[in-house]
Structure 1
Amino acid sequence: MQNLSTGLLWFVAALCVLFLTPVPPARAEEVSSFPLTLAREKNWLIIRSPRLPRGEIRINYLEAYCRPDSTTADWHKTTIGHKTELVSLSDDRQTMRLRCTVNDGVVVDHEIVASDGEVSFQIRATNPTKVASAATWAQPCIRLGDFTGFANEGGDLDDYLPRCFIFLDGKLTRLSEVRPWAKEARYTPGQVWCPPGVSRKDVNPRPLSPLVPSHGLIGCFSHDEELLFAVAFEPYQELFQGVARCLHSDFRIGGLQPGESQSIRGRIYLGSNDVQRLLKRYERDFPEHLKNAMK
């Protein structure tokens, strides 16, 4: 009987420890981001997670490689044809390798890695030919209709602008609040922001804003404002809001001489609506962007 009583007391004590011991709160990192995986369908790079609206974000990757002198040119004369091949996709669907062969002979290798709340891009463009390449920049077209809560096609093509943002004068500015808003170009609607150091003759032939972005981050909020998406590349040619309810940070190649290579890196951020956390992650990955913005 004494052994039974002692055992019962130990059992009660264990229950007290179990239920009364405070549970440490989840780390901000754990609740602010979520695992992502990758898929490839035709020319679509697909980022997937059950946490995303409709479960995915689709990117036309890559939409185009582009020549210089593009701002006022016919789009079909600006683009250089290319073919993209899926080289490999890991069993956990978190590491993808692609190879683009541009029609002028340039080869572009892409390593894309998904993790918790981020997708990283390591890109290497090489010109193995004996002729200079005019490939100056490239467009990953990120479709965000589903994410922002609007149709992917048709209707008012500017309806998602209140959910989208860039940074002007160091402050997050929703695109619906950007003034002035350029409206004239070879093709409309849309909006292009050209960063310092890039010729305004060499960007998308959509309305070109007179405003210069503070840095290379562009993004949007989900339809319920609970999630946040953002993207940046280095070096980058332009920030662009387009007609497919898309956002672009288009990366710069700069044209390649025979035998020349260019390295590019990029990052997509996904997580809870926490702008300060986003900026810390961005500063970690692209310190030169914020350094240049402070000059």
Structure 2
Amino acid sequence: MTALGTAPGLGAPAAPVRRGRRRSTPFLLALVGTAYLAVFFVIPLLSGLIVSLMSGNPDDGYTFTWNFGVYSALFVDPQVPYLTFLLRSLWYGLAATLVTIIVGYPVAYFIAFRVSARWKSPLLMLVFVSFLVSFVIRTDMWAFVLASQGPVVTVLQGIGLAGKDFQILGTSGAVVFGDAYNDLAFMVLPIYAALERIDPRLGEAANDLYAGKVRAFWHTTLPLSRSGVFAGVLLVFIDCVGDPVNSALLGGTNTYTIGQAIQDAYSGNQQYNVAAALSTVLMVVLGIILFVYARVSGTDDLEDLV
């Protein structure tokens, strides 16, 4: 009797152990993500901040001197208008983001609701097929297509929509087009992921309540896909603002961006502290803009994409 009575007690300590493991599992998983962010985000950010506070030159080297004056010098030097470059980059990023939303949302909507299940994967692969080619090569090929003797300008001139002096390459439009083209997939995928989670019966219910297609879309589909648009804006805007490739290959002297300024300061002039200071300023500005955008748009539904 004693043995039988105490037998259940032998397994009693196992329950608290299992509960302890279940409680610790989320913290262990969060530890992996925290370590990843620390190694690839926090440490580089702090390293850039430290480098920006150094003084010196490429010949004699750089030493840490708490040189906060480099930040004020960035925006008072009349020979190098870094503020103009920054504002221009923000404008290009905003314009390219709007273009990707206008083009990408109908594409995502069509794949999510207007094609059969067997065609969805092939169509999504077509969206990403351009990534099989190098980013620089794709952009450089557009420089050929948009050139003054290229097919686009030649066709426009042939049908009388452009004059002899008309050009696309070297303009702001070419840079925005390049940014939007290269980042279009980053807008399509999150919007498609959000639309795919919407129950089609909601639209049918809206129609049964005498809502037209436009009204049903505006009050049902669009609000429910807000998380996808939000994620796409984050991906596209951040990438476009700091990109130096499109402005260098598709732009001209009047399309110089902050990304080019950072690249030239680091690799061209070897002004490592200036390049680090510009990078830090850009990250702070982007952080403020995205924080305000998140507060205005709301991020309650963003976790649905995870």
Q: Normalising by structure 1, report the TM-score.
A: 0.26
Which entry has the higher C-alpha Rg, 1 or 2?
2
Higher strand share: 1
Higher helix share: 2
